[in-house]
Structures are given as C-alpha cells and as structure tokens.
Amino acid sequence: MARRRGFGEVERRVSASGTVTYRARYAMPDGTRYSRTLATRMDAEAWLVGERGLIDRDEWTPPQARRAAEEKRQRDAAFNTVAGFAERYLSERSLRPTTIRGYRKLLANRILPYFGETPLTDVSLTDIKRWRASLDPTTEATNAAAYRLLRSLLQAAAEEELIDRAPPKVRGASSAPVRNVAVPATLDELAVIIDAMPERLRLLIVLAAFVGLREGELLELRRSDVDGVAGRIDVTRKVDKDADPGTQGACPDCGRHISSPKTRSGVRTVHVPPPFVKMLQEHLLEHTAEGPTGLLFPGDRTDHMSVRFLMDRYRPAREAAGRPDLTIHHLRHTALTLAGQHGATAAELQARAGHASQAAMAIYQHATLDRDKALAEKIGQTYEAWSADRTS
C-alpha cells in the first residue's frame, strides 16, 4: 500500500524472493511522474524531502538529467587530475607510437607515482620542486625528460583553461649534462669495421659513417630511393623500431611500423662520397631486394632486417676495431663530425643530418643539394687520400 504524504507518496513493495523495498514517487504540475526505489522507508521519505526542496528553491530539474550531469561532473573531475588529463593528452594528439610509448613509461615510472590523483589545480611550483628532489639523481636525462612532459601537460591544461596558468619553469630542470660524449671513429677504425662486416652490410656502415643516415632510415631504404649513377639517396621514411607491431602504419609483410621522419627536415636528399658510389652500384646489383620497392638492406626473407640481426654482425666488427663503445648512432656522429671538419656550416650540417630546430629553420634555405654534393666530394677526397697513404 502507498502511504500518502503532503508531497508525493511512499509505497512498500515485496519481491517474489521476499525482499522489501520502498518506492517514492511524486507528480509535477504537468502530470509527469517521477519515482525512485530505495532500501528503507526513511531513505524514500528523505528523497521526497530533497525533491520538494529543489522545487521550492526553483532548482529542480528532472532526476535523470541530474544523474547525467553528476556523472559528467565526476568524469570531468577524473580528467582534471594529472593522471586523467595525461590520458586525454596522449589520446587526443597525433603522436608517434614511439613517442607515446616513451611518454607512458615516463608517466608510469616518474610522474604518476607522485602526482597521479592530484588535481591539476593543486600542482604548484613547490610540489614540482619536491617531486624533482624525490627522483633518482643518477638518472638525470630521464628526470629532465619527465619534467619536460609534466610541463607540457600543465601548459596544455592552461591552454584548455583547466588551470589559470602553468607553474613557472624550474631553471635547469629540462636539461641534463652530457655524461658520455660520443667519440667519433677514425678512418682506420671504420676501415676495420667495414672489412669485418658481411658484404651485404658493408654499405650500411658506409651510409651511417660517411653520410650520416639514422638506423631506422637505413633499414627502410628501398631501391626507388637510390640514384646509383649520381650517388644520391632520398630519405623519406624510417622504421620505428620500438613501436608495437601491427599498429596503424605497420608494414603488412613484417608488422614493423613505418613512418615519415620525425620532422619535416628529416625528409631530405643526401649524396654518397664518390669513392663509395661503385660500392653502392654493386650493392644494388647483388644485395638489394627485387623490384622498385625492394629493400636496400633486406632481412633473410626479403622483409625488414631486424636490429638484432644487424647487431649480431656489427658487434664483432666494432670489437675488431677496438671500439666496443661505437653504436650505429655513433657512426652517424662520425659522419657529421667529418662534414664539420670539411667546412660544413651549421645549416648544411642540419640539412645533411635531417635535424630541425627553431633557431636553425631560418637558415635552412642556404643549404642546397649542390652544396651537399660538394660536401660529399670533399669527404670522398679525404678518404681517397687516406686510402692511398694506407696502400703505399
């Protein structure tokens, strides 16, 4: 039976299993009825009192709309924590898979253990300084990367007006001192490494050490990217070796993620020093996969070569040269050092390397293909002179 009151009514209900509940209900002037079932009569009557209070204060809206608004408020509150906003930040931006992977690692290991459930509005400069002081001092580079990510999150939150402004910068927090300076390889060391590599991989070492191509760029070079007569190579793609296989942009044959270079300046044309053009031509004939899209350095099944396969062959070669410290990236450093020694300007070095920075963008226009070719020729002349002295 329903128990009538001054506003609404409460009905006691018994289910087939014997469970007792109480349904509170009321009608609005337009005849629309609203109800809610609760566990006790006291709860049901309290709900009616609350609804009547909203009507008296002219604050009433349909209960369903209020529930939806509360759910939205709770969702917004969750997104307005550092953890919630970080998830939005990663999902709403066009970031590379490798970038997302790196950011998630920084969040999980450095940022969220300290700031995870903290509301964005509560993150202060003092909190950031305390957080930095809590980090492992032996991982300065990672700490600096974590700070840069946290600051980016807070700046994005400020742009969306979720906070009034991002806390001021912490001086020096975004950079870390360079502990291990790459030592370029000498021409003698490079000769030993090249000779110790399998024939199919010697050109890869040359393109890394004398042209300055990145590992991911080398592994994605194809026959159509190379002009064997002019010794010219177009760099337009790279393998993202740390990306999850099968993600969007993955190679259908091997699952590796292929993307354009990280910046617009990474798309470039470079020249091989003349002494190595014959090696390039022979490699195209003997070791490159068939067809215009055939990989310059294919794996065992003509798909992409794995980094492990490459390193299993490169590691003994660098040890033979007495340079166990020399990574593939250090070979690229060697190439840029050689270019600098031969008079390359900052603009030419950045153009040849495919680097980009706001400070350098204004002068990129002075780095031309003709100048890059001349630079390659100078490097080639030095190599030829060294080679002649070595054999005499």
What CATH number is associated with residue 114? 1.10.150
333 is catalytic: no
Residue 47 confidence class, pLDDT cut points 50, 70, 90: very high
Residue 73 is assigned to a structural domain of this protein = no
How many domains does the chain contain in total?
3
**pLDDT confidence band for 8 (50 / 70 / 90):** very high
pLDDT of residue 72: 67
Is the pLDDT at 266 greater than 90, yes or no?
no
Q: What is the DSSP string of 316-377?
A: HHHHHTT-TT--HHHHHHHHHHHHHHTT--HHHHHHHHT---HHHHTTGGG--HHHHHHHHH
Residue 358: predicted pLDDT: 39
Catalytic residue from among 287, 323, 330, 355: 355
pLDDT confidence bin for 254, thresholds 50/70/90 = low
Nearest CA among 190, 183, 229, 184 for reference residue 207: 190
Check whether residue 259 and residue 371 sit in a common domain.
Answer: yes
Q: How many CB atoms lie within 10 A of CB 318?
A: 24
Q: Is the pLDDT of residue 195 over 90?
A: yes
CA nearest neighbour of 26 among 16, 36, 17: 36
Mean pLDDT computed over 189-205: 97
More confident position, 59 or 80? 59
**Active-site residue identified among 214, 232, 237, 271:** 214
Portion of the chain with pLDDT greater than 70, in percent: 87
Query: What is the mean pLDDT of the segment spanning 355-365?
Result: 43
Q: Return d(Cα 121, Cα 124) in angstroms, integer.
A: 8
User: What is the reported pLDDT for 5?
Assistant: 61
Q: Are residues 226 and 132 in the same domain?
A: no
* Domain ranges, residue 53: 2-60
Same domain, 217 and 319: yes
Quote the CA–CA distance of 237 and 346 in Å, as a whole number: 24
> CA angle at residue 333 from 375 to 223, to 5 degrees?
65
Whole-angstrom distance, CA of residue 75 vs CA of residue 73: 5
pLDDT at 372: 83
- pLDDT average, residue stretch 371-392: 86
Cβ-proximal residues to 149 (8 Å cutoff; 6+ apart), any chain: 103, 106, 107, 111
Average pLDDT over residues 272-282: 96
Structure confidence at residue 281 (pLDDT)? 97
Give residues with Cβ within 8 angstroms of 370, minimum separation 6: none
Say which residue, 58 or 347, is predicted with more confidence.
58
Given the residues 332, 333, 352, 383, select the one marked as catalytic.
332
Select from 122, 143, 159 the last residue of a domain: 159
Helix (H, G, I), strand (E, B) or coil at 233: strand
210 with 319, same domain? Answer: yes
Q: From the candidates 4, 329, 366, 390, give the one annotated as an active-site residue.
A: 329
**Chosen domain end from 12, 32, 60:** 60
**CA 132 – CA 143 distance, rounded (Å):** 8
Instruction: Flag whether pLDDT at 9 surpasses 50.
Output: yes
Reduced to 3 states (helix: H, G, I; strand: E, B; else coil), residue 170 is coil
pLDDT band of residue 63 (cuts 50, 70, 90) is confident
Whether 234 and 360 map to the same domain: the answer is yes
DSSP, collapsed to helix, strand or coil, labels residue 14 as strand
Tens digits of residue pLDDT in 305-353: 999 999 999 999 999 999 999 999 999 989 988 888 888 777 777 778 7
Instruction: Decide if pLDDT at 225 tops 80.
Output: yes
* Residue 287 annotated in active site: no
pLDDT digits (tens, 9 = 90+) for 283-301: 999 999 999 999 999 988 7
Average pLDDT of the chain? Answer: 86
- Over residues 42-70, the mean pLDDT reads 90
Among the listed residues 36, 104, 114, 364, the single catalytic one is 364
Residue 314 annotated to the active site: no
103 has catalytic annotation: no
Same domain, 227 and 103: no
* Residue 275 clears pLDDT 50, i.e. is over it: yes
Tell me if 35 is assigned to some domain.
yes
